[in-house]
Structure 1
């Protein structure tokens, strides 16, 4: 597989690709048509913040499986376009958490004690000891806006130094916040209580300029630290608040425009400490994000879960071995169900019964959807299958129950066109041997492999013999047969594994017999 790297990453990350046997091509600072040409045959793209991964890029990259962002922010990647094209987008949020948190703490101290200003004046020969009266953090309140990974790490570090923590984050529970010594409050209370405010949220339409003139006024006499994303704090309002004495100081590592413009108002205010986006700039952090990104790309190539996928179901690494065999089983059940219905699909239901119901199954459900849609010749994978369902107006439901009659674990995929429904149930024998065990309530024991023929017929003498004879006439070898019936003399269902395609003429000849109700040919991947 070919990996294209368009922004510099640590050599340790490149070595992960080479050790796994993949081709690595570096093309730094490419853009426009050069980027489109470079990515045209790439299976993976690795970027940092320098490369804009637009819809055009995804349209040009027909072989692309995954885009890896060596860092946290993905503002430069069109995730909607990636999803439309079935491309995974993954970042590396853990690799630089410690570095970003430590820089935040350092910036808080630098601002509170005027360290850069005093340093500069001393270098110039001034002993300005009496000009700087700093603030201690012990006994003060830290306001944290965004209690994600970095926010949690900052809260832990400064709580251990004697600070009280008031946090605003509508997406975290009170119990989780308490683990980091934080009390959850609304934004206004967070601002009013804070002596120091630090923000740790992504830049979105919701968070753009979320800390502006009115919010800064509530922090009177305090300090603001932004080492998250430029644009979250209104730069002009922040400069004015410090300049006018509303705030005692501020520290900023990220800017709305980077590299920062020389006329940015924050650069002209003495009590604002600025650094050029150094939050993740440690040797350890750069190596960590490079290796993490590379390992996720290799996992994607090998069909394993991508732990930090942003637009695809992901799963904890420790849980993956428990669900891995069910991923293919769910996809196969979906394929069989869709081909048996052979009509416009309006609804899909995935039912989990038994031990499997205790697991995180988003990835398995996405695989079931992939199986349903794949026979319809849509370009589909586990990344865009949920999107395809939404765009096609197909309702998707998932249900779980811990009881499973006769089986330790059972997966059922049901597809419906509004009037008719087909259900296919699968399980695993001996841990990893997939079987189709029910089709529309008929108990079977079919091996889902290659080409299959599903016949519904009257439960009458000679019918199975007829089917075998017709198959023989058309040189179709039957590799296996699994029969079930609803009642003696009623309707029966039989699943045949066959070695080759069954000609239309053979299927028509079977349909010509009044005892044959329906014959469907099922094609699975192994039969192509």
Structure 2
């Protein structure tokens, strides 16, 4: 596999990918057509904040499996376009959390005590001791806008240094805020009214862009602003004006709306605004952590395993994956069988779980079931874009769970339906990694889901199974295994055949021409192509 690295990352991550046998190519500072050419045959990309991964990149990279962001922020990656193209986007949110939190604390003290300004004055030969009257953080209130990973680490550190904590985050629970010793503000205005210092820890989104403008900064009169999150969250001209005019006592800024920051930025002209060039994650440990984290996630994607920090694909806890893994392919297979048996317009897909498996986090399994349903329809689909394909096409998707299962330890059922008809396929996993299809539309079977399968719905009368077998034999199609089920004696029956070769259209027509056979379907599953190639090689 080819992995393209377009921004500098720690060598530990690159070496981990190369040690796994992959080709790692570095192409720093490429953009435009050069970037599109470089990524054309790549299977993975590793970027930081310097590379813009646009829809054009995904259009140019047909083999791309994953884009790994060696860090937290992903506003330079078009995640919607990635999802449309079935490409995983993953970041490394834990690797630089501690570094970003520590830099935030450092910037808080730096602006409260005017440390850089005093340093420069002394270097210029001035003993300006009387001109710098600092502010103690002890007893002051720190307003935290965004109580995510970094915000929580900042809360722990500055809370332990005697600051009172108030947080604004509509996505955090009261219980978690209490654990951190923070009061939850009703809204941003409430947080600003109560704070002496404000530190920002939100992603840059349309909702957070310029979230702190002139009006909001005026509410923090006499206070301090620290931003080590993302540029663009604070209105930079408004911040410069607020500090210059004395509305705010100071600010410390590590990130900018445009990076590298323009020499004309108003933030660079105000003495009481401390600036650093996006150093929040710039520690040796942090850079190594994010590089190895992304390398591990790329390797997981290549192996078809869950990507733990995927932003646009279902994920799960690493410890749960061994329990769930066998059901991922089983759900995919059940979906393929269901849609090939259905042979009609799909309006709804239901994925049901029963037994022990129902206790797990199954988003990835459900996404795999959707992939299985859509794949025979020849859409470019995988577990990343299958949920969005369903949404785009107006197909309702439901998931249900039941902890009780009549006959099996765990069951996965995929049902496709519309207003007129439905087909259900139920599968389980036997010991030793042995998947089986155990029900089709209520008929109890014990079918091996592999290669070419023939599903026949027929009247339960003598001679039908013999007729099917002889017709297949006359066509030189060997039966590898066969399973039969019926509703009642003399009613209707369903039989499933594993075949060594694909039945021709003429063969299927010959079967359905018999009045005892209601319908017959050929199912092609994983392994069918390999079986055909093996037969051709033998010939």
| 1:499 Cα deviation from its structure 2 partner | 0.6
Aligned to 1:108, the other structure's residue is in SS state helix
User: What root-mean-square deviation, in Å, do the aligned CA atoms of Structure 1 and Structure 2 show?
Assistant: 0.9
| 1:404 Cα deviation from its structure 2 partner | 1.2
User: Residues of 2 paired with 1:255 and 1:430: CA distance?
Assistant: 56
After superposition, what is the alpha-carbon deviation per residue over 1:28-59, rounded to whole angstroms, capped at 9, x for unaligned? 11111111111111111111111111111111
- The equivalent of 1:63 in structure 2 is 63
Aligned to 2:68, the other structure's residue is in SS state strand
1:230·1:256 contact (CA, 8 Å) conserved in 2? Answer: yes
- The equivalent of 2:230 in structure 1 is 229
| 1:76 Cα deviation from its structure 2 partner | 1.2
Aligned to 1:299, the other structure's residue is in SS state helix
| 1:204 Cα deviation from its structure 2 partner | 1.1
After superposition, what is the alpha-carbon deviation per residue over 1:68-95, rounded to whole angstroms, capped at 9, x for unaligned? 1111111111111111111111111111
| 1:178 Cα deviation from its structure 2 partner | 1.8
| 1:351 Cα deviation from its structure 2 partner | 0.6
| 1:325 Cα deviation from its structure 2 partner | 0.6
**1:203-242 matched pairs, under 5 angstroms:** 203-242=204-243
- The equivalent of 1:178 in structure 2 is 178
- The equivalent of 1:405 in structure 2 is 406
User: Residues of 1 paired with 2:465 and 2:48: CA distance?
Assistant: 62
1:332·1:368 contact (CA, 8 Å) conserved in 2? Answer: yes
- The equivalent of 1:508 in structure 2 is 509
User: Residues of 1 paired with 2:208 and 2:31: CA distance?
Assistant: 29
| 1:422 Cα deviation from its structure 2 partner | 0.0
1:366·1:385 contact (CA, 8 Å) conserved in 2? Answer: yes
User: Residues of 2 paired with 1:103 and 1:506: CA distance?
Assistant: 72
- The equivalent of 2:312 in structure 1 is 311
- TM-score (norm: length of structure 1): 0.99
Aligned to 1:335, the other structure's residue is in SS state helix
| 1:246 Cα deviation from its structure 2 partner | 1.4
**1:316-395 matched pairs, under 5 angstroms:** 316-395=317-396
- The equivalent of 1:139 in structure 2 is 139
- Is structure 2 residue 83 aligned with structure 1 residue 91? no
After superposition, what is the alpha-carbon deviation per residue over 1:501-523, rounded to whole angstroms, capped at 9, x for unaligned? 11111111111111101110100
User: Residues of 1 paired with 2:477 and 2:165: CA distance?
Assistant: 73
- The equivalent of 1:116 in structure 2 is 116
Aligned to 1:319, the other structure's residue is in SS state helix
- Is structure 2 residue 417 aligned with structure 1 residue 445? no
User: Residues of 1 paired with 2:118 and 2:52: CA distance?
Assistant: 39
1:347·1:418 contact (CA, 8 Å) conserved in 2? Answer: no
1:6·1:27 contact (CA, 8 Å) conserved in 2? Answer: yes
- The equivalent of 1:200 in structure 2 is 201
| 1:20 Cα deviation from its structure 2 partner | 0.4
List gaps (5 residues or longer) in structure 2: 530-539
- The equivalent of 1:247 in structure 2 is 248
Aligned to 2:522, the other structure's residue is in SS state strand
| 1:431 Cα deviation from its structure 2 partner | 5.7
- The equivalent of 2:423 in structure 1 is 422
Q: Show structure 1 runs of 4+ deviating over 3 A.
A: none
Task: After superposing the two structures, state which structure 1 stretch, 426-435 or 165-174, moved more.
Answer: 426-435
Aligned to 2:198, the other structure's residue is in SS state strand
User: Residues of 1 paired with 2:350 and 2:320: CA distance?
Assistant: 23
After superposition, what is the alpha-carbon deviation per residue over 1:254-302, rounded to whole angstroms, capped at 9, x for unaligned? 1111111112111111111111111111111111111111111111001
Count of residue pairs the alignment pairs up: 528
1:10·1:290 contact (CA, 8 Å) conserved in 2? Answer: yes
- The equivalent of 1:462 in structure 2 is 463
